[in-house]
Each structure stands twice: as structure tokens, then as C-alpha cells.
Amino acid sequence: MHTVWKGAISFGLVHVPIKMFTATEDKDVRFRSIHKECGTPISQKRVCAHCDREIENDEIAKGFEYERGKFVLFSEEELDALRPESARTIQILDFVNLTDIDPIYFEKAYYLSPDMSGSGAYGLLLEAIRQTGKIGIAKISIRSKSRLAAIRVVDNCLCLETMHFPDEIRSISQVPNLPEQVSVNDKELEIAKLLIDQLSAAFDPEKYTDDYRNSLLQAIESKVAGEGVDIVAAPATDSTKVIDLMAALQASLDAANIPTDTGKTGAKRKPAATKEKKPKKTTKGTAS
């Protein structure tokens, strides 16, 4: 793994030297723009429209547009001077319960390993977090950006997950067409809860795959092998059709072979087969 950050975790007076590695990888299938006539890749050049020429990297500065068409410029040296002195320290501010954090805050995961002679302090922090069931909330600077982060334990490794700051989370009041009050049919709700209960299982990440990416890779392999690739589009559905919610719930239960007789939903029971009553056997008064 490639080290993306090197520094230390600090909590109280404890200093834990660590190295950081990206815990996830982007497996998107990426395409390049190709000139169809000759097959040459199209390059993205940095061109100044005013000077009408290509610009070198050392001619480029960082600019913030404070008014339309007006920019204030910063050099890399000026930006470096503004970075906090703790740019190489992950300062744990609080320890909290993981369940107290809404998943909307989480961004990207990194693995942390002990650096140099920091294995003792690393193990101490790891085991303390594991046994208390808490996670550390910290601040860190990565790639010229200050971030909030959560430090937790994954197996025998400390894992840091960058987080959004509260002012980066958009308010749900900006989402259009949300109902002011949620009103549902009791019978539909009972069946929906039954369906959720029957489909509930322990989370197993290995059962989920990127079907589109797999299909795309197969198509690429076929193209490379010179085989024709036929793409068949599924028939479009009529999105304007009114959905019978109860019928959809019932169909979902039927497809999963889930009985709907819960005693609460009021669903119709199938008539039970009638059994013929047999006379009871008596032991008294029988002939010997």
C-alpha cells in the first residue's frame, strides 16, 4: 500500500506515531475520449483563452472568485503559511458512541499503522477503544484541507474515517416535495413490516456485487477478443401508471413465500381443510 499521510495521533499526553493508507479503492471502469477517425486519444490541454496558448504548471496560481470575473490570487507559499501547525497531528477531541453519529457524516476510510517505535502506544489506543466501545472524534489536515474524522477499530487495525463538518451537510428543508406529516394505511404498514422482518439478515458484504461493472468488463473483453457485443434494452415501463401499493406488497410477500396471516393485518386466510370427526374410543364397558 502507498502511504498517503504520515504523522501522529494525540489524545491527552499520549503521542502515537502512525502512517495512513487508503482503505478503499475506486474500481470504476474509466474511458478516454478517442478521435473516431484515427483512434488517437484526445488530450486535455490547459489553454488560456485570453493569451490563446497552452499554459505551463509554474504559470498557474490558485484563485478564489469573490465576484463574478474577479479573483484574489494565492501562491503555494501563502497557502502553506495558513495551514495549522498541527498539520501532522491527528488531535482526538472527544470519545463518543458510534451509534450517535448519523452515517451521512462519513466520507472516506483510511487504515492507520504504527510508525517506527509507536507500536506500544498504538496497541494501547487500539485496545482502549475496543474495550470501551467508543470511537475518537478528531481533526486532521489532508491534502490542504482540514477535516473532521472518526477513529475506530477494525479487527486489529485503527481505522480513520474522514467526516463532513456540520455546515457541509445540507438541510433536509431544501429537499422538495417532502410530506409535512406521514400518513399510512395500517394494513399496508403491517404487511410492509412483515416483509422487512422476513427479508432481514446479518450484513454480509460479500453477497453484494457491482453488476454493471462486471457486465461492462465482460463487454470490454468481448470487444478486445473481436466478438460482437449485442446490447438489448429492457422495455421501458410506464412511470405514469398508478401503483396499487397493497397489490405490490402482497406480490412481494408471495414472491418470497411469506404467509400474510399475522393476526394483525386482517389478511384473508385460506380455508383450512375440514377433518371428519371420529367417534371417541371408550375403555369402559367393552366386551372381553
- Total residue count of the chain as it appears in this document: 288
pLDDT of residue 132: 95
pLDDT of residue 206: 85
Tell me, yes or no, whether 74 lies in a domain. no
Model pTM above 0.75: no
In the chain, which residue ranges form alpha helices assigned H by DSSP?
76-82, 119-132, 186-199, 211-224, 245-255
pLDDT band at 73 (very low <50, low <70, confident <90, very high): confident
- Helices 186-199 and 245-255 pack at an angle, to 10 degrees, of 30
**Residue 234 above 70 pLDDT?**
no
Residue 228 burial class via C-beta count within 10 angstroms: exposed 0-12, middle 13-18, buried 19 and up: exposed
Task: Identify the CATH number of the domain in which residue 160 sits.
Answer: 2.40.290.10
Tell me, yes or no, whether 224 lies in a domain. no
Tell me, yes or no, whether 121 lies in a domain. yes
pLDDT of residue 74: 86
**Residue 272 above 70 pLDDT?**
no
Looking at the structure of the chain, the number of domains it has is 1
Tell me, yes or no, whether 283 lies in a domain. no
**Residue 269 above 70 pLDDT?**
no
- What's 52's DSSP letter? T
Among the listed residues 26, 145, 162, the one whose alpha carbon sits nearest the alpha carbon of residue 106 = 162
Tell me, yes or no, whether 103 lies in a domain. yes
pLDDT (average), residues 3-9: 89
Domain range for 19: 3-26+82-168
pLDDT of residue 198: 85
**Residue 66 above 90 pLDDT?**
no
pLDDT of residue 238: 57
Tell me, yes or no, whether 119 lies in a domain. yes
**Residue 267 above 50 pLDDT?**
no
Tell me, yes or no, whether 153 lies in a domain. yes
What are the angstrom distances between the C-alpha of 24 and each of 3, 107, 191, 266?
13, 11, 38, 48
The chain-wide mean pLDDT, for the chain, equals 80
Q: What is the number of other CB atoms lying within 10 angstroms of the CB of residue 41?
A: 9
- What's 236's DSSP letter? P
Tell me, yes or no, whether 260 lies in a domain. no
Which residues on adjacent β-strands are paired with residue 137?
Answer: 94, 150
Strand ranges, E, within the chain: 3-11, 14-22, 47-48, 53-54, 62-67, 70-74, 89-97, 106-114, 134-142, 145-154, 157-163
**Residue 70 above 70 pLDDT?**
yes
